Chain A
């Protein structure tokens, strides 16, 4: 990474701003059914919120109302505490990044001109624009010298998409809106772009809204996931873990599909798990010493390591008793996983090797310890009771819900009719605990899977 003029100096500082959709409705023409129906949605600063849902449910419409490419019929959009519903749309959009499928690059402009367009409109000088262009190309893993002067047609789909992201980030906007950004590339490129997006976001911490209809992508990239039904009705607004582990209703569980548990395995990495100690020996040790060490530790296996602490073999005590010397040749089928592997990969390795456990290696293949199936299962169970740190963002389609913004913290609380006692619908415990069980279709007043402003 080159030195940055506008990007945050210390990685991880939040540069995004909060967004609030307040009772937003969109009707196209005079059609009776609104495309977006009384949507109130909080998008916390610096987080990535994924919009998912079936085709035509209003994801794109909702997102385009944030930068007012589509004007809301009712309601207001508040960005960083400022109501932007009536401000000049072009000015508003210059302060937000916007990326669409296939990048939407201007074919008659070079990569550099595409990226530099917004800074140019904002009146930056040439030198600063050129520096910014190079910096962004590096951020999206494109070599500035070989790509700067190319035209979009001279790029692959994935590269065009990268340039699209770079262009959106050009003026360092606090908000980034992306509509199915990775929909038009092949699965391998898509995965790579997603991984890059994650690392870019770890560095920049913008407020990002991504529309997708791929639940796997939503769960992978999102800090929060909104599952919409027709009319942008929120079915669940929750962390990816909870969406997978505790779908609020049948709609969500159908949408998540089978294998939700397995998807959760893809969310956790080996280095987030407790790694168990093992008895380690070197090939120079005698089998007897190895057996003694194992018995002293109460283990059934020992790990034989080479000088660089890379695993050679993983014999059992029974095998050691029969052996005359410790193995010196690398066993080809050792179940080895890296620290960065997902639990899904780890489980796969264990099942293939039938060992019920796997050796974990760190950088340069150095042995770190062992994970076993029990640890993985335990972590899955823990996930199920998903540790709720902090509150979930607010989201509802309740036309009568009002929001209250704490003047000091900016924290948003939802006031539902139940709470203020104008009560219609069901009384539930001060509405503090969301009723996640209900799946009353069609009723948009109190049938809110996730209405709570605060979680106890």
Chain B
């Protein structure tokens, strides 16, 4: 416990960096995923393509991906953001395509029928109706990306990954186990807080008409 109390400041700071990296990447990923879903959901072929992309993307080991990105992007925050965002996009994209496709045809037809433009129909009808499903995708992404961010952060930048991997590399040495455990616990705590925040966001942004 001394390990934690001695490094309290450092742990908090790293946790904050970790949290901040994940949240920013998650937001970016949501925008990208919704954008991709928007262009693909109305075509069956593109929807299938998006789903395959998700499935294949998730099988790529994140460590390998990071390694591959170092060559073109070098070390630093940029490759970390790219990797974390890439993985975060996948579950959101899949859910967004599913969510948008599950909006009943009649609802879209009515929207068009009363004179809403394609854009208005998307942003005021289809997106709000798909929103709960998209949000579920965001929660899955957030959980998944917490771990990936730890790896990325160790190799490339700031975050809780430092505790875990520096501990692992010195395993057996003084405080090495404490370092690893501190890192893991902090990741779990940060993940739980983010999930709670996302649930709260869902409450605040989902229409009551979709919940009753």
Contact = CB atoms under 8 A, between A and B. Distances in A.
Interface of A: 67, 69, 90-98, 100-110, 117-118, 121, 151-154, 164, 167-168, 177
B36 interface: no
A418 B113 CA distance: 39
A121 B116 contact: yes
B117 A104 contact: no
Contacts of B114: 93-94, 97-98, 117-118, 167-168
16 contacts: A67-B113, A69-B112, A92-B115, A93-B114, A98-B114, A104-B106, A104-B109, A107-B129, A108-B209, A117-B116, A118-B114, A121-B116, A151-B208, A153-B209, A153-B212, A167-B114
B4 to A, nearest CB: 46
Contacts of B117: 90
Interface of B: 106-107, 109-117, 120, 125, 128-129, 207-210, 212
Contact of B113 (A101, A104, A109, A121): A104
Contacts of B128: 108
The 8 closest A-B pairs by CB, nearest first: A104-B110, A151-B209, A94-B115, A98-B113, A108-B207, A93-B115, A104-B106, A108-B209
A169 to B, nearest CB: 11
A174 to B, nearest CB: 14
Nearest to A149: B208
Contacts of B208: 151
A121 B115 contact: yes
A148 to B, nearest CB: 13
B113 A100 contact: yes
Given A104-B113, A107-B209, A167-B114, 6 more contacts: A69-B109, A90-B116, A103-B110, A106-B110, A108-B128, A153-B212
B129 A108 contact: yes
Contacts, number: 74
A109 B207 contact: yes
B204 to A, nearest CB: 14
A167 to B, nearest CB: 7
Given A94-B115, A118-B115, A121-B116, A100 B110 contact: yes
A100 to B, nearest CB: 6
A151 B110 contact: no
Given A94-B115, A121-B115, A107 B106 contact: no
A164 to B, nearest CB: 8
Contacts of B120: 121
Given A69-B113, A91-B115, A94-B114, A151 B212 contact: yes
B41 to A, nearest CB: 18
Nearest to A97: B114
Contact of A100 (B106, B115, B116): B106
Nearest to B127: A108
Nearest to B108: A104
B212 A106 contact: no
A121 B119 CA distance: 13
A313 B113 CA distance: 57
B113 A108 contact: no
B115 A90 contact: yes
A182 to B, nearest CB: 15
A113 to B, nearest CB: 9
Contacts of A95: 115
Contacts of A67: 113
A164 B113 CA distance: 12
